[in-house]
Amino acid sequence: MEKAPGALGHRADTKEDPVNTETALDDMDVATYFSLSYSNFLVLHRVELEHMPTEWQHRLVAMLNELDGAYRHLDHPQGYEVHPCRYVEVWELDDDERKAVGVTSSLDDFPALPDDATEGQREAHDRAYEEACEAELFYDADGTELEKWQRVPIRVSDPIPHYRHGRVEPRLS
């Protein structure tokens, strides 16, 4: 699973102020705005949009209407489900997180050591477990193997208030 660009594109991974970057933002194409990621969607908080100046909102709505008109001929789903999240590499997930995202491990079925095991059995079990850890494999909910370094989303609460419950003042330059 690849990381989405976040609430405002390239700002998802940085606190960098996009207004003061060296990139000419007025000349930026969409692929560059998406940081050349493989993300398929752009998510915008309604509360942020509604608290921008009225003239800015009118320009945005005009462009959104132009976009809708250009692709009206395509079939679109009724809606999308969006959740705030943080990204974690598969190997870093704890048991509860793995369960929540549907990731399984080849170690999930590793046999438990019997309570009455001898010292030799314990040592053999520990060696076998260490070897299994070195070769550990992870799978998503569909059974597709995941690389240890792949990142998966873990749901978190949204720090931006719902549009009916808060106000977010923009910092305009």
* pLDDT, tens only, 65-95: 999 999 999 999 999 988 899 999 999 999 8
Does the residue 116 lie in any domain? Answer: yes
**Three-state SS letters, 146-162:** ECCCCEEEEECCCCCCC
CA atoms within 13 A on the CB side of 21: 15
Does the residue 67 lie in any domain? Answer: no
Does the residue 93 lie in any domain? Answer: yes
Pairing of strands 85-89, 145-146: unpaired
Does the residue 10 lie in any domain? Answer: no
Higher pLDDT, 2 or 94: 94
What percent of the chain stands above pLDDT 70? Answer: 85
Does the residue 31 lie in any domain? Answer: no
Does the residue 115 lie in any domain? Answer: yes
* pLDDT, tens only, 37-67: 777 888 898 989 999 999 999 999 999 999 9
Residue of 47, 58, 143, 158 whose CA lies nearest to 102: 143
* pLDDT, tens only, 97-122: 999 999 999 999 899 999 999 999 99
pTM of the model: 0.60
Which domain range does residue 133 map to? Answer: 89-146
pLDDT at 28: 84
Does the residue 166 lie in any domain? Answer: no
Please state the domain count of the chain.
Answer: 1
Does the residue 3 lie in any domain? Answer: no
What's the Rg (C-alpha) of the chain? 23
